[in-house]
Structure formats: structure tokens, C-alpha cells
Amino acid sequence: MSHLDLTILVIDENAVRAAIIEEGLHEAGHRHVTIVHEVMGIARLIETLAPDVIIIDIENPNRDMMEHLFQLTRSVSRPIAMFVDRSDTAAIEAAVDAGVSAYVVDGLKKERVKPILDMAVSRFNAFSRLQRELADARSALEERKIIERAKGILMKMRGLSEDQAFTLLRQTAMNEKKKMSEIAQSVVTAAGLLM
């Protein structure tokens, strides 16, 4: 999917400011742009439209509205760029916490829309990759732990050496066309029932 095929949702209560964003996006070659002027009921629209990127522009954000938007941004898992006119440190921290990829204070000019959109997408992708790598590392660690426990059980119950226990697990996994960690899990579960 090329960068210009992105479906972009712009949430902006101010029509003039929304037009600035839209113009910036069109000049950058983005054609799939939906503008919404109402924050209420936005979650349903996001489900239907399934945008690739969300741009939120709030002239004078009040705490309730920001809280509402942050709840939304936490749940959608997409690149989000947010423009606001004024902000305090707490709001910026809350935005980052809620998963906003780019948070721009006092910077709504049409020529800034594209670079900020690009930045939001690349930050989001980098962050997602990190999260994936972390999840993979965690599950690899869990799998290793299970295999170690299964080896220990086989060594104890069948009097095998560590190498023999490992070979038995690997051989069984190959025969049953399963992952070694699945076989190990079965051994651990069975041992739990038998002991």
C-alpha cells in the first residue's frame, strides 16, 4: 500500500482549521480524507471507516474532551497526530501515554500537516515493531522455561540425561508435527495430574 493510499480521518470541530488540514493533505497528494466536526459517536465511525491514520485538531481543549479523546486513542491502535493550540506538560504526557504518535502544540499550518502525518506513521510503526519484538521475546522466554521444566520432569520420571530428555521432546514434536513447547506443556500438565 503506497503512502498516498492512506485513509485519513480528521476530527476537527472548527471548519476553518479542518479546511487547513484538508488542504495540506490534498497538496501532499492524499485523496482519501474524511472530515468530522463532531467528537461524539466517533468510535463507531472509526470502526466503520477503519482509517489508517487519525488526525485530531482541537483549538481549545478542555480536560473532559481530552479525556474522551484519550480513551478513544488508547483503544484504536493506529497512528494518531494531534494538533492543539495550548497545552500543559500533564496533557502532553497523557497524550503520549494514550498512544498519540505526534502531539503538536501551536503548529497548525498546512505545510506542516504532511511532515507531521509522516512522523506519526513512522513513530507508530517503530513503536509497534518494538512492542511485537518485546512480545516475541517474552513468549520465547516462556517457551524456554516450559521446555526446561519438561526436561526436568522427564529426567526425574524416566531417569534420562538432559540430552536424552531434550531429544525425546524434539523427536515427539517432530512426530506429532507440533512445536516443542506444546509437547513440553503437555508433559508439564500430565506430570501435574500424575504427581
CB 59 within 8 A of CB 13: yes
Nearest to 126, CA basis, from 172, 167, 79: 79
SS3 99: coil
Please tell me the distance from the alpha carbon of residue 33 to that of residue 25, in angstroms, as a whole number.
8
Domain positions in the chain are: 3-108, 137-194
Q: Give the angle subtended at the CA of 36 by the CAs of 34 and 37, to the nearest 5°.
A: 150
CB 82 within 8 A of CB 100: yes
| 32: phi then psi, degrees, rounded to nearest 5 | -90, 80
The CATH number of domain 137-194 is 1.10.10.10: yes
CATH number of the 3-108 domain: 3.40.50.2300
What tens-digit pLDDT sequence spans the chain (195 residues)? 455 578 888 888 888 888 888 888 888 888 888 888 877 777 788 888 888 888 888 877 667 777 777 777 777 778 888 888 776 777 777 777 777 877 777 767 777 788 888 888 888 888 888 888 999 999 999 999 999 999 999 999 999 999 999 999 999 999 999 999 999 999 999 988 886
pTM, full prediction: 0.61
